[in-house]
Structure 1
Amino acid sequence: MEELTMQIPNADKMLSVNGIGLVTVAGFISEVGDISRFKNPKQIQKYAGFELVENSSGKHKGRTTISKRGRKIIYQVVLPLIRINQEFGSIYDYYRKRIKNPLKGQQAMIAVGCKLIRVFFAIMTKGVVFNGTKMIEDIHRPTQLPQAA
């Protein structure tokens, strides 16, 4: 499996992400297939079942949840990833503890999974090397926290 995975361009760069192993890279590549058939990472998110759906009918407005249809490899790797990888762990903590619109646990995990898909998409299409510091800086956070009254 390692030999076949390493034949894919930029697969070695995906392995440079701390907390991502050979099984995850091989699983992602096998589930997504040819990355060039996707124009942006949002399409992969929908393909992976990370799109939001609302259970509504008529005047009833239901809860918004993830579709849970599609591929499972990203969802399965997120929990170990936020424990092992400091950068992804800090993103998870940020989503959980931000002042405006904090996310619940599973919602934050989905947000981290979507971030991982975007990272994989950039690595596979552009051939860039993962930079955790740059990934953290890309998140727009308020510069000052509001003062307690």
Structure 2
Amino acid sequence: MTQLQVLINQVEDKLDGLAKDDVRVQQLQSIPGVGPRLAEVVVAVIDDATRFKNAKQVGAYAGLTPTQFESGTMSRQGGISGRGNKLLRAMLVQVSWLARRCNGKISKIFEDICRGNKTRRKIAVIATARRLWVICWAMLRDGTLWREPSPPIVLSTN
């Protein structure tokens, strides 16, 4: 084992020990696809979840909202603003790519935005990352664990 790997293992062990004592990190890890590192970064960046009034503020804080271009009657949206923590944004995007495989809700969000079009995959993953970020914030704000969405109730007319 190289010296670098030994140091990485020591840091990961220390982070695991700190995460084990933090209820908020455990809370976020209840989301399928969210691991300890993303949960730690989210907790560190959000800090106090009650400081945000709504999901729009949370999305803007992470730089996951589109930029707006307006001139006269023309109004267009561009790419994401990119403000905020770059590490958080990168981790949310990577986890969103993977979470859509094991998390039904994330997968549905991704597929709804893609609309079956392969060219919309990057747009969909950014939107999914924003939604995951907002879900994490809401869970921390409310102090709840992940709940799988219940299937819709179908009433029989017979």
Q: What's the TM-score once normalised by structure 1's chain length?
A: 0.72
Q: When you count strand as a share of all residues, which structure comes out higher?
A: 2
Compute the displacement of 1:21 (Å). Answer: 0.3
The equivalent position to 1:95 in structure 2, one of 113, 116, 119, is 113
Matches within 5 A, 1:56-95: 64-71=78-85, 72=89, 73-95=91-113
**Higher radius of gyration, 1 or 2:** 2
* Corresponding residue to 2:38 among 5, 24, 38: 24
Aligned-residue identity in percent: 23
**Cα contact 1:14–1:123 (8 A) shared by 2:** yes
* CA 1:62–1:36: 2 relative to 1, 3 Å: closer
Amino acid at match of 1:48: A
Cα 1:128–1:64, aligned 2, differ >3 Å: closer, same or farther?
same
Match of 1:107 in 2: 123
RMSD between superposed Cα atoms in Å: 2.6
Structure 1 residue 47: deviation in Å?
1.0
Structure 1: how far apart are the matches of 2:146 and 2:81?
29
**Aligned equivalents of 2:53 and 2:19: distance in 1?**
23
Aligned residue identity for 1:40: N
Residue 120 (structure 1) aligned to one of 111, 136, 143: 136
Which of 27, 47, 52 lines up with 1:38 in the alignment? 52
Maintained 8 Å contact 1:41/1:117: no
In structure 1, distance between residues paired with 2:40 and 2:113: 28
How many residue pairs match? The answer is: 132
Decide which structure has greater helix share. 2
Runs of 4+ in structure 1 deviating by more than 4 angstroms, as ranges, are 55-63
